[in-house]
Amino acid sequence: MTSDHRIGPIALPDNRARRVLESLLEDSGISLNGDAPWDPQIYNPDFCARILRQGSLGLGESYMDGWWECERLDELARRLLLHGLGERARPPSDRLMYRLQAGLMNLQSKARAYMVGEAHYDLGNDLFERMLDPTMCYSCGYWKEADSLHEAQLAKLELACRKLELRPGMRVLDIGCGWGSFAEHAARHHGVSVTGITISREQAALAQQRCSGLPVEIHLEDYRDIDGRFDRIVSIGMFEHVGHRNYRAYFETVQRVLADDGLFLLHTIGSNSSHITVDPWIDRYIFPNGVLPSARQVADASEDLLLMEDWQNFGPDYDTTLMAWLKNFEHAWPELAERYSERTHRMFRYYLSVCAGAFRGRDMQLWQVVFSRDRASRYDAPR
């Protein structure tokens, strides 16, 4: 039975697990079964013990299981992170295991590259069509002058095109093209030809359909297999899947296929730390093998290959974007429920809300970095 059928939260047992968890939450402004909209309402007596045992993985899984509710998951996440419970919420054994795996093996190798496509992006185009705006951009919008999600996504696409200084007739490579949002916009409004690559079959099929009649080619392909020569390269929301062991190979690929005097725009979520870590719940349920780069890692990997021309951070805009996606998703859920389970509903609600809270608390950033190759003239980035 899900929590929707329950009358109210339970009286928590007075045990060691509860006392330890409440001591960890002290001065965070969060109370178990409290009155604030960000206070978790508990429906299972084993909640505290599970959280102490499993950390952030247990927190997310127990929400999916209906063990607790929270009116404002986004604010709960923000307060937990500001209180310093982000890394501490991951059991030491989990942190050690991931770092050992990341050090001993390439979690984002070519053999594993299609895992995230199959696990997340191939979940169903109907779900993403209802959650996203008509551009089908699944990355941060640019809200500087936008009043709606659609305006913000169009502004992001146009900002990228302006930063790349697109001109009619140019050949553009889109690494991680998703459902073809940038490819369609750039080809339609800037007269360029675009080659887009993705590791998701569902994305490739819909992107080909959306770009029909335009000078756009969409390929199901790993970035390491790219051939050709391109005047401009763009990568929006894909670098998070590359992995630290592959950053250098990624930039070597870009350098190899980017024309002289070419420009490359990298749009990626960024980490405040260079420590190799991952949230176990996100890794298991949303983006398998994903890892966020740090500024130092981006700079080190691109050094001596490309010239960094500009670096812009508009991370807080991802909070607004995620909350807009959440609103769309909840509005569409009655229709989506005919195909997807309530557990999927709770999984997406938790994912979108918690990530919004993380960006609101500045625990994660959103960077657009422009690189050039053999450019002699000055570069001035638009904003």
Residues 154-212 pLDDT 10s = 999 999 999 999 999 999 999 999 999 999 999 999 999 999 999 889 899 999 999 99
Q: How far apart are CA 62 and CA 66, in angstroms?
A: 6
Task: Find the domain containing 23 and state its range.
Answer: 16-90
Extract the tokens encoding 352: 């979108």
**pLDDT average, residue stretch 5-25:** 91
Residue 105, domain member (yes or no) = no
- Is residue 88's pLDDT more than 70? no
Residue 86, domain member (yes or no) = yes
Domain count, the chain: 2
Task: Indicate which residue of 140, 161, 177, 355 is catalytic.
Answer: 355
* Residues 178 and 35 reside in one and the same domain: no
* Residues 42 and 171 reside in one and the same domain: no
Extract the tokens encoding 243: 């992995």
Q: How far is CA 307 from CA 116, 164, 276, 295, 310, in A?
A: 30, 14, 25, 15, 9
* Residues 173 and 29 reside in one and the same domain: no
Q: How far apart are CA 63 and CA 81, in angstroms?
A: 18
Residue 8, domain member (yes or no) = no
Contacts of 344 (CB under 8 A, 6+ apart): none
- Amino acid 105 reads M
Confidence band (pLDDT; 50, 70, 90) for 100? very low
**pLDDT average, residue stretch 316-331:** 98
* 0.95 exceeded by pTM: no
* Residues 25 and 124 reside in one and the same domain: no
Q: Is 177 marked active-site? A: no
- Is residue 76's pLDDT more than 70? yes
Q: Please compute, for residue 176, the number of CA atoms within 13 A of its CA located in the half-sphere on the CB side.
A: 23
Residue 377, domain member (yes or no) = no
DSSP label at 304? T
Contacts of 23 (CB under 8 A, 6+ apart): none
DSSP label at 10? P
* Residues 182 and 253 reside in one and the same domain: yes
Neighbouring C-beta atoms of residue 134, cutoff 10 Å: 11
- Is residue 46's pLDDT more than 70? yes
- Is residue 299's pLDDT more than 60? yes
**pLDDT average, residue stretch 86-112:** 51
The confidence score (pLDDT) of residue 106 equals 54
Confidence band (pLDDT; 50, 70, 90) for 120? low
* Residues 184 and 39 reside in one and the same domain: no
Opening angle at CA 240, ends 205 and 167, nearest 5: 65
